[in-house]
Structure 1
């Protein structure tokens, strides 16, 4: 099987509930591609990013982080030093830091990502908006409630327009805005945002999940 095809199959397995099989294929493909093309080659980097995803899904966070940092180091002195693959690695690293409660590290990565994407793509580009949403979530969890609320107020409608109102990031942004508003004493505004989230789930036929349960719980507490 061709190495690139093997890597593609590994990526597919990793995202369809067969992460252990996908991880093995991706690891093999990435190592072989690195031997042939070098660590900074496009195909090698793509395979290593997919491999990091599979490790993340297997909760092997330390291994995923080490691999992402190796990708960033391999690309640091190349023409892709601030390119799409570096940004992809940084975003995956920020997600791992956030999941592990390393909020200051996640914030630092996201600030740098947002700065580059805003410069290269514009502040209103869908990918920039998603990164800005993630940054606002980190700020909110660190207790920077007013700052996070200001950022989220400016994000919720553009996210709906760019991604669709039922996109996960759009729903998270509106839910986080409601939480921030509730903490700042703006309960009426918070309830309006929460009701909009509930309406999206009901009207668009979304499967109830933990986010909806959290939204309903907060709405119930606000009365």
Structure 2
């Protein structure tokens, strides 16, 4: 996921303030004084105000007359926002995020592939074949993560259920964070092609039970990879890779 850090002074301030809020360095209910931030961060008042507007759009902060700008309760944050998710992972709070994502996938994806096995079209199979081919030929974590996302997006589309298809929008940012963590962790992810091919073969052969079982096996491997990546990230060597 792209960060604000490469977007000049404004982006740097968004990154700093967003990380502080999500990490709890600036706690819920605390007031953010723009003029104090000007002196602390060495930027203009305009830059600070623009950055706070970005955080407000993510529902991290709000402004009220006589109270100023303050950190909203976590329950009100847009926790599905890509930047909020990235900040959670960066500050070491990714474990609960990945747990929630895993539980959602276990509930949704086996049922989705059952539908896909019954309703898939030739176009759906072509999209899945293309994604699997990209997965097999991926060079580097970016290509691997993109191919994985494309495969699961195509599976949801193949379900023929518009609501299931839209779940990709719900899960996209969390999946990107998960894939970045897993594919960037040495030794975490094994060859993903066989487990994904097993799902595709069952969908191709219109076998809902086998498709659901293959997806359950795939998700078990995904959980093991995520657990390994989290353990690695907690070591000094892992933290060093994350900083790079």
TM exceeding 0.5: no
TM-score, normalised by the number of residues in structure 1? 0.30
Please identify which structure carries the higher helix content: 1
Q: Of the two, which has the highest radius of gyration?
A: 2
Please identify which structure carries the higher strand content: 2
- Where relative contact order (Cα < 8 A, 6+ residues apart) is larger, the structure is 2
